[in-house]
Copies of this chain bind each other. A is one copy, B any other.
């Protein structure tokens, strides 16, 4: 079902030291990457983002090692649609939050991914947990995910995912994707200073907007704008674009985003590693 690679070899289970910081302190980063027929989608962009996060957090990083490991794992690809997760941690360290690591842990998993089971649309509900503009955990794809987990759990009885605001009360993102709204030919999305993770799928759409006849606004977005939009949708690397059917129980605009989904399909056919 799943191929697991940990620090140099394919394994059945993870074998880690007891002072592994990824486990003990959420001290690491990850990327999840769609794989189509053995080809990872937007791999260089994901590795670039991971490298930037590693540099900011002082975690040892070698893109060459990661590309090599991904290549080794993808030899075991066996389904049309899969998901590759690359996890890089600070590795084992001595005591002390600021302690340096010497040997980062690199863990890669390749799992099947049933695209046909993806939701056609999602209901969102606003979480009481805000995203924090000053926090690396909100800007970088780190292992410290508990706030998003708690937000997803908070709304799970009434919605498919949580809408998270930032500490100023502006729209940030869902727990797993970026938010866009469309009004006439203007595509608006929270800017990178709004406590969002700058998604790769987000970036692709922003760069492709002109080709789709859309003007992009990256800025602070108010929640009332979502209610007034022609449509609202969520983007991420695995699900691409998913319409939001309702927000806090109120139906959202129903303008069709097929042309955006089509753009993504066209631009996610897989790069060579």
Q: Which residues of A contact B (CB under 8 A)?
A: 2, 4, 6, 13-20, 22-27, 30, 56-58, 85, 87, 89, 95-98, 107, 109, 111, 128-130, 132, 134-137, 140, 142-150, 152-153, 156, 167, 175-176
Contacts and interface: CB of A to CB of B under 8 A. Distances in A.
B97 A25 contact: no
B25 A145 contact: yes
Given A26-B143, A30-B24, A143-B23, A98 B17 contact: no
Contact of A144 (B132, B134, B147): B147
B137 A146 contact: yes
A160 to B, nearest CB: 9
Contact of A18 (B14, B89, B148, B175): B14
B13 A152 contact: no
Nearest to A127: B134
The 5 tightest CB contacts between A and B, nearest first, are A26-B26, A144-B144, A144-B146, A97-B152, A25-B145
A4 B152 CA distance: 32
A134 B130 contact: yes
B2 A18 contact: yes
Q: Specify which of A2, A4, A146, A148 lies most central, judged by the most chain B CB atoms within 10 Å of its CB.
A: A146
A136 B148 CA distance: 9
Given A13-B17, A14-B17, 20 more contacts: A6-B18, A13-B15, A14-B16, A16-B16, A19-B109, A23-B89, A23-B107, A24-B85, A24-B143, A25-B26, A26-B145, A27-B149, A56-B150, A95-B111, A97-B148, A130-B134, A132-B147, A136-B147, A137-B146, A143-B144
A240 to B, nearest CB: 17
Contacts of A144: 26, 137, 143-147
A148 B137 CA distance: 10
Contact of A129 (B136, B150, B175): B136
Contacts of A25: 26, 143, 145-146, 149
Contacts of A129: 134-136
A147 B18 CA distance: 21
A39 B145 CA distance: 34
A205 to B, nearest CB: 23
Nearest to A111: B95
